[in-house]
Amino acid sequence: MKTDKLLLGLSLMLLGFNAEAQKTLVNKKQKAAPASDFAVLPYRNSNWEMMGFEKDVKQASLNQDELNKVNLFLVRAAQDNKLKVYKRQYVCVIDQKGDKLVWVNCFCQAYDNEWRTKLFLVDDGGNCYYSFIVNLTTGKYYNLLVNGEA
C-alpha cells in the first residue's frame, strides 16, 4: 500500500515537472519567433545600376554569420548618419574581384508584405528611405543614399 502511494506521488510529481518543462519550451518558442524585419532577395541583372553595383556581378547567398555582420554595419551606418533602423531588404552578390557585397535597402513603412519578395523602391520620402552597400570582404560600407524630400 505504501509502495502504491509512493509510486502515485512520484508519478504525479514527474507529471508536474514535465508540464512545467513543456510550458517553458512553449514560452521559449514564442519569444524566439518574432516577426522578421528583413528579407533577403535574389539579385536580378536589371537592377545592378540602381543598386550601385558594377555591371558584372553574380548572385550570392548569406549565411547567419554574414547576416549578423550586415546588421552590425546597419547599426553603424544608422548611428553615423543619424538615421533609424527600419525594415530592410538585402541583395547579395560577388563582384569581379571576388568581394562579397550586400546592398541594404531600408524603409520605415510598407503597406503590404510584397516587400519580402520584391524590391521596395520609392522616390523622395526623406530619411524614411535609404540604402547603402556593405563589402563583407573589406569590412566597409559605402554608397549611402538617403532619399530627398519632394
pTM of the full predicted structure?
Answer: 0.69
Question: Cell 563583407 sits at which residue?
Answer: 136
How does pLDDT run along the chain (150 residues), one tens digit per residue? 544 443 334 333 333 333 333 222 233 332 322 347 888 888 887 777 777 888 889 999 999 999 989 988 888 888 877 777 688 899 999 999 999 999 999 888 888 888 999 888 777 666 678 889 999 999 999 998 887 755
Domain ranges across the chain: 1-34, 38-146
- Report the candidate in 95, 137, 87 with the shortest Cα–Cα distance to residue 114: 87
